[in-house]
Structures are given as C-alpha cells and as structure tokens.
C-alpha cells in the first residue's frame, strides 16, 4: 500500500476533529441542528486553515443517509464516498483551472436536475475568486434563485476579489490562523498516535514556521520525519528549516542583557557563519521581548510558546519594563528597515548596538567611581563633574538653590528630567523627600518616571534608603524650570534692548525704514 501523507491521513472528517475554528464549527453545528440551512456558504481564510475541509464535512452532514445533522454516521455509503472523494452529488470544482464563462455555464447546466442519490446536490467551488467577471455573472443568476435541492459551498483566500453581489448572497465564515499552542498540541497527538519519537521544541519550531497553517505544519512534519529518520529532534528540525539554534539565540540575548557589546558582535558573527536567517532572528528577538513584557505585566511565569521559559523569566527579572519596551520598539524598527541596510547582518548589529546606546543613563550598570561610607553595598555611578556629592546631604535640597543644582547633575533624560525640573521641594524629613508638582503637569508624574527620579537621587547621595513622595498642588511653586524660564526671559529682554539701542540698527531704520522682525532676536547661544 502506498504511503499517505500526514495532511491527508489526518484530515478531519468530523466537526469534533477540527482544530482552532470553534466559531465556525459552532455556527454550522447550530444551523444543522435547527435545520436553518442557507443555500450558499462562503469560507474565507489563508492557506491551510481548513476551508475545504469544513466544506466537505458540512457536505457530509447534509448528505448522510441517517439524516442531515451535525454528527454524520461516517459509516453509510454517502459518508464513506465523500471521505474518499467520489460521491456523485458532491461536485468539487477548482475555479483556478476553470475560469472561463463556458466552464461555469457547463457546470451550472445541471443545477436544475435533482440529485442522483442524496437529498442535496452540493457544489464545492474552491478558490472562487479566480472566476472571470462573466463567470461570476453566470453564477450570480443561480445564486439569486437557487433550486431547493442545491447548496453552494465556496472557498477563497481572497474574498476582496469577489463581487459584492455574490458576497451579499452568501453566509460568510472567516477562518482564523491557528494559534501555535493549538498546532503544537495537535502535532503532539499525531506523533503519539503514529508512535514516533519526538522532542516538543521541534514541534514548536514547526508550528512557528507554519505561520498558522495546519496543512503547512503537517507537510513540514512529514519532511522532518523523513529528514530525521523518524526521530524528530529539535536539532534536526533546525537544520531542516535553517533556523537559528536556540543556544546561539540565548547567548545573544544574554550578551545584550549584560551590556557586553563585544559578545553581542561575536554572537552575530557566529550566526553569520551558520548562515542564519536574520529576518527570522529579528522575529525571534521580538517574540522573546513580547513574552518578557507579558510576564512583567502579569507578575507570573510565562506560558512560553517557542522559547525556554527560564530564559524569558530571567530577562523579565534582569531588564526593567522600560528597557523591554525600548528594545521591542527598536527591534521592530530594525526589522522594518532591514532591507535598507547593506546586509541583514549589519542591520541586526546596528539594531542591537542601538539598544545598548539608547538605554537610559541612570539604568546603565557601570563600575562605581565612589561608594558611600554609610552603605558599602551600594554600587552606582556618580554624575560627571559631581565630586562635591560626597559632602552633600539630603537636607540641602530644601535650602536655597539646592534642588535646582541637584537636578542639573542627576544625568536624567526625557520624562524623568522634566519631572525633576517641574517639581519643588516641600520638605525633607530624614531620607524622605516630599516634592510638589503643579496639577497642570500631572501627566508627567507616571509611576515609572517617579521611580527613575528616586533611583537617581539614591545614586547621587549614595543612600538606598532615600524615598520620594509626590503631592499635586494648584498653587504657584518655585521650580528649576520656572527659574530657567525667568532667566531666559531676562536674557531675551536684554538682547532685544541691545538691538534696539545699536547705532547701526538705528541708522538702518532712519535711512531705509527698516524694521526688526518680531521674534527674530535671540540671545547668543540660543
């Protein structure tokens, strides 16, 4: 007996065997049980998700000799002949090879005649969007006034190409791509039924490569079984698919977390020697960061699909949520711009180096220059040109220009810097710093931003015990930003006064009627 490929051998023959399309199965099952049968059904979706499979099962439900129901007997001659593809009242048509109007008219000439054996004559037209405009017109006439014994089951990967007049006369069911976990479970069940050894990570790689198509997954599994001599291991599947070995991917991510640029570059060169698919590697990095962000948000271990749970958990503990979001965004942009680079390898290298270069300064782990005597365990980087910090105290913040001076030496960036200069110190009690912020700037007081400011102050004073609290106020407050604005306004007034009093400017005004353009005068250095 000749070998039967897995995609055909394990093709579902009942609704209960269909994976990942519960919304469609439920609708068809209810229609059959309630005998609310439409004359035309349209199944849409990408390749290999079960369009024609569902159509054939539905045809079997309609034609079963035990009666039309959602649970065909699968033993009567009608059910068996449909499973074998030779039932006379199920007419299957590949529209891609019969696009001419003459073919469609020839097909529909027999619509008026009653079915030979069953209660319905079922037309299953695959890739229906390939029909010509005249063919659609011929089909439309039958769809408008179909005989009661005829059912049309249409399938397409591109419903946008169907005329709206055809779409409006069909019940449309959109089939989804299958989730990876559902595909892995199905592949695992299949391998156990076939009594073949396998490694689950190998099935994960196959499911990921199939991109939501169960038929593609089964075809890849067939190939993997042959490639690995019926022992489907992760290494064999990676060799077959040409994907990056997990060990290399993990080494790359570890180097990134350790902020070791030399190891990052060494990892990319090693991947190039393995002829790695850098586009796929971009996707792997994006997936890892996505799962890391999820475990950080949910505060529980990840249900990882495709990656080692220990790696994702480790990244979640070692990277801050801000870093994960930053890396994720940089990776997305890097993949988008990959084709603009001189090579995929250089695109990945620049993306990884960009991740290291754009990390917030106050989160970069470097060797400390000085450590507070009050806590030898505190290791941090003091701000540049801030050696006077050793003699500074937290209480100095509440006096005179103390807060303004400190905010300029904290090396804060972005939102954290804006928060610092928009605040004013209300009071300092021990290591507790109470800041006030105007309600109009409430939007910048996010929890993560406040935490960055607190961490920067802890590093500045060398005290982990420092805590920052924030109060909102409607009163006018004296902040570093306000002082800077006032200083800039004063400089602006002096600059305008200087220009107005300049002898050359006066001569130009008297001689030529020249005027100073409003807003064009700027202080030197602006």
Report the 10 Å Cβ neighbour count for 121: 23
Tokens of 292: 């890391």
Rounded CA-CA distance 297/132 in Å is 51
pLDDT for 373 beyond 50? no
Residue holding tokens 């979640």? Answer: 316
Report the pLDDT averaged over residues 263-278.
Answer: 86
Among 28-32, 355-359, 522-526, where is mean pLDDT lowest?
A: 522-526
**Is the distance from CB of 458 to CB of 464 less than 8 angstroms?**
yes
Rounded CA-CA distance 248/348 in Å is 14
DSSP state of 319: S
Report the pLDDT averaged over residues 73-95.
Answer: 89
Report the pLDDT averaged over residues 42-67.
Answer: 91
Half-sphere exposure of 35 (CA within 13 A, CB side): 2
pLDDT for 363 beyond 60? no
DSSP state of 75: -
Rounded CA-CA distance 211/178 in Å is 8
pTM equals 0.60
What's the pLDDT score for residue 172?
92
**Is the distance from CB of 369 to CB of 459 less than 8 angstroms?**
no
Mean per-residue pLDDT of the chain: 83
What's the pLDDT score for residue 43?
94
Segment 232-257, tens digit of pLDDT: 988 888 888 877 777 888 888 888 88
Among 132-146, 209-223, 415-429, where is mean pLDDT lowest?
A: 132-146
DSSP for 451-513, please give it: HHHHHHHHHHHT-TT-EEEEEEESS----HHHHHHHHHHHHHHHHHHHHHH-HHHHHHHHHH-
Its CATH class, for the domain covering 277-359, is: mainly alpha
Rounded CA-CA distance 111/213 in Å is 34
Range 180-241 has CATH code 3.90.180.10: no
Proportion of the chain above pLDDT 90, given as a percent: 22
Rounded CA-CA distance 11/214 in Å is 10
**What are the backbone dihedrals phi and psi of residue 474, each rounded to the nearest 5 degrees, phi first?**
-95, -5
pLDDT for 488 beyond 50? yes
**Integer distance in angstroms from the first to the last C-alpha of the chain?**
85
Report the pLDDT averaged over residues 381-393.
Answer: 46
**Is the distance from CB of 402 to CB of 424 less than 8 angstroms?**
no
* Contact partners, residue 498, CB within 8 Å, separation at least 6: none
Please enumerate, as own/partner, the contacts of 219-226 that have beta carbons within 8 Å and a separation of 24 or more: 219/5, 219/6, 219/7, 221/6, 221/187, 221/190, 221/191, 222/5, 222/6, 222/7, 225/196
Among 293-297, 362-366, 521-525, the range with the most confident prediction by mean pLDDT is 293-297
Proportion of the chain above pLDDT 70, given as a percent: 90
Among 258-272, 305-319, 407-421, the range with the most confident prediction by mean pLDDT is 258-272
What's the pLDDT score for residue 376?
38
Confidence of residue 524 (pLDDT cuts 50, 70, 90): low
Q: Do domains 180-241 and 277-359 have the same CATH topology?
A: no
What's the pLDDT score for residue 221?
93
Confidence of residue 329 (pLDDT cuts 50, 70, 90): very high
Report the pLDDT averaged over residues 264-272.
Answer: 89
Identify which of 406, 500, 514, 395 has the alpha carbon closest to the alpha carbon of residue 459: 406
Identify the residue with better confidence: 367 or 418.
418
Among 309-318, 367-376, 474-483, 510-519, where is mean pLDDT lowest?
A: 367-376
Half-sphere exposure of 243 (CA within 13 A, CB side): 25
Burial of 156 (0-12, 13-18, 19+ CB in 10 A): buried
Q: Hey, is 423 helix, strand or coil?
A: strand
Domain boundaries, the chain: 6-174, 180-241, 277-359, 387-478, 491-526
Identify which of 313, 315, 211, 338 has the alpha carbon closest to the alpha carbon of residue 254: 315
Where is 264: in which H helix or E strand? helix 261-273
From the candidate CATH numbers 3.40.50.300, 1.10.3190.10, 3.40.50.2000, 3.30.470.20, the one assigned to the domain spanning 6-174: 3.40.50.300
From the candidate CATH numbers 3.30.300.150, 2.30.33.40, 3.40.1390.20, 2.60.40.10, the one assigned to the domain spanning 387-478: 3.30.300.150
What's the pLDDT score for residue 97?
77
Length of the chain: 526
């Amino acid at each position: 007996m000749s070998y039967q490929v897995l995609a055909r051998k394990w093709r579902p023959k009942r609704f209960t065997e269909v994976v990942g399309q519960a919304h469609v199965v439920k609708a068809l099952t209810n229609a059959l049980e309630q005998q609310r049968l439409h004359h035309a059904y349209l199944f849409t979706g990408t390749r290999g998700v079960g369009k024609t499979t569902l159509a054939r099962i539905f045809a079997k439900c309609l034609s079963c000799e035990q009666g039309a129901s959602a649970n065909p007997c699968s033993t009567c001659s009608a059910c068996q002949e449909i499973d074998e593809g030779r039932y006379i009242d199920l007419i299957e048509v590949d529209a891609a090879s019969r696009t001419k109007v003459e073919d469609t008219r020839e097909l529909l000439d027999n619509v008026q005649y009653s079915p030979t054996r069953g209660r319905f004559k079922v037309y299953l037209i695959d890739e229906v969007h390939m029909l010509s405009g005249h063919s659609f017109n011929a089909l439309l006439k039958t769809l408008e006034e179909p005989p009661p014994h005829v059912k049309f089951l249409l399938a397409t990967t591109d419903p946008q190409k169907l005329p709206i007049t055809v779409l409006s006369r069909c019940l449309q069911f959109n089939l989804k791509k299958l989730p990876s976990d559902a595909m892995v479970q199905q592949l695992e069940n299949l391998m156990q039924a076939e009594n073949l050894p396998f490694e689950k990570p190998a099935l994960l790689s196959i499911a990921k490569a199939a991109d939501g198509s169960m038929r593609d997954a089964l075809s890849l599994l067939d190939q993997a079984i042959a490639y690995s001599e019926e022992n489907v291991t992760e290494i064999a599947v990676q060799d077959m698919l040409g994907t990056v070995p997990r060990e290399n991917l993990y080494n790359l991510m570890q180097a990134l977390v350790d902020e070791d640029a030399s190891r990052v570059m060494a990892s990319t060169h090693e991947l190039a020697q393995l002829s790695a698919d850098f586009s796929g590697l971009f996707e792997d990095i994006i997936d890892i960061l996505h799962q890391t962000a999820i475990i950080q948000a949910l505060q529980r271990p990840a249900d990882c699909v495709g990656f080692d749970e220990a790696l994702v958990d480790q990244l979640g503990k070692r990277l801050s949520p801000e870093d994960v979001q930053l890396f994720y965004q940089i990776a997305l942009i890097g993949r988008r711009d990959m084709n603009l680079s001189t090579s995929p390898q250089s695109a990945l290298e620049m993306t990884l180096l960009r991740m290291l270069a754009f990390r917030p300064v106050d989160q970069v782990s470097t060797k400390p220059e000085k450590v507070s005597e009050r806590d030898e365990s505190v290791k941090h980087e003091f701000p540049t040109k801030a050696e006077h910090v050793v003699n500074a105290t937290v209480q100095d913040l509440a006096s005179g220009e103390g807060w303004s001076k400190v905010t300029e030496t904290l090396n804060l960036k972005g939102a954290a810097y804006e928060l610092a200069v928009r605040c004013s110190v209300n009071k300092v009690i021990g290591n507790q710093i109470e800041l006030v912020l105007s309600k109009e700037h409430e939007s910048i007081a996010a929890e993560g931003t406040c935490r960055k400011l607190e961490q920067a102050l802890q590093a500045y004073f060398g005290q982990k015990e420092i805590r920052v609290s924030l109060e909102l106020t409607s009163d006018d407050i004296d902040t570093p930003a306000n002082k800077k604005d006032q200083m800039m306004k004063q400089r602006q007034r002096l600059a305008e006064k200087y220009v107005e009093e300049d002898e050359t400017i006066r001569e130009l005004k008297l001689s030529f009627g020249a005027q100073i353009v409003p807003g064009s005068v700027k202080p030197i250095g602006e």
